[in-house]
Each structure stands twice: as structure tokens, then as C-alpha cells.
Amino acid sequence: MTDVQINAGSGAKTSKPTTTRRAARTSTAPVKSVKALDDAAFEAAFDALEPAERHAVFRDVGEELARTLGAQVIAQMLNGSDMSLREIGAQSGFDHTALSRIARGDSKTGPTLWKVFALAEALGYRIELNAVKK
């Protein structure tokens, strides 16, 4: 059994090159430059949000984190397997094209946690999740 570790906030980089998707531009209006906020300004702006807005921020960040980390973990397991995607799909019960989309980061939502664990079980991996206190 092979271990897959997910370290939230560790800053670890994957050895596989990743692609960056750009949003389609639908307006011809000039784009305003956005000034990056320092930590204090960011904290002040976040503190000024209403509770519902804070919840939305955490939800959006959580979804993006799940999508990107899930894609990295799925790709790591698929790349570490000696089987083809079709064989993996047949063994795990997942559609091989969906697995490919997730691993490439092309899935809008990414994998669910149960899908990561189920695929890990089918491929002989153990998933370890941990959080590190600031």
C-alpha cells in the first residue's frame, strides 16, 4: 500500500506541471488593475464582511481547495498505477473520462472526498489528511 499525504498549507509543490485556466473575458470594458492588500488591510476588509459574506468566502475557498488538492491527489494515484485509465475505471467503478478530467484539473467541482478514498482503496493507497496549527 502506498501513502498519499495531503498537507494543508504546507506549501508543498507537485512535480507534475500544472495548467492555469483563464476565465473567458465577456466584456470589452477596460480592465482595472487591482492592488494587492497587505495582511493588515486584508484582515480589515475581511472583518468588515457580514457573516453571510464571510460564509460565502469560506465556501468558495473550500470548494477551490477541494478541487485543486483533489486533482493533485487523483493525478498522483493515477500516475503511480501500472494500469490504464480504462482499467482503473473498470476496477474502481468510476468513469475513466471523469477521472482524467479531475486529474487534469478540468473538473469544475473536483472529486468528492469519498471518491478520493474509494479510488485510493481500489488502487492500494492510504490517504492521510492532517492540519498544522499556525
Distance CA 98, CA 75 (A): 12
Distance CA 70, CA 54 (A): 24
Distance CA 134, CA 131 (A): 9
Distance of alpha carbon 125 from the chain centroid? 18
pLDDT digits (tens, 9 = 90+) for 19-62: 444 444 445 666 666 677 788 888 888 889 899 998 998 888 88
Q: What is the pTM of this model?
A: 0.60
Three-state DSSP state, 76: helix
Residue ranges of alpha helices (H) inside 2-133 are 39-47, 51-79, 85-92, 96-104, 113-123
Distance CA 21, CA 74 (A): 19
Which among 91, 50, 71 has a CA at the least distance from the CA of 6? Answer: 71
pLDDT digits (tens, 9 = 90+) for 54-87: 899 888 888 888 888 889 999 999 999 999 999 9
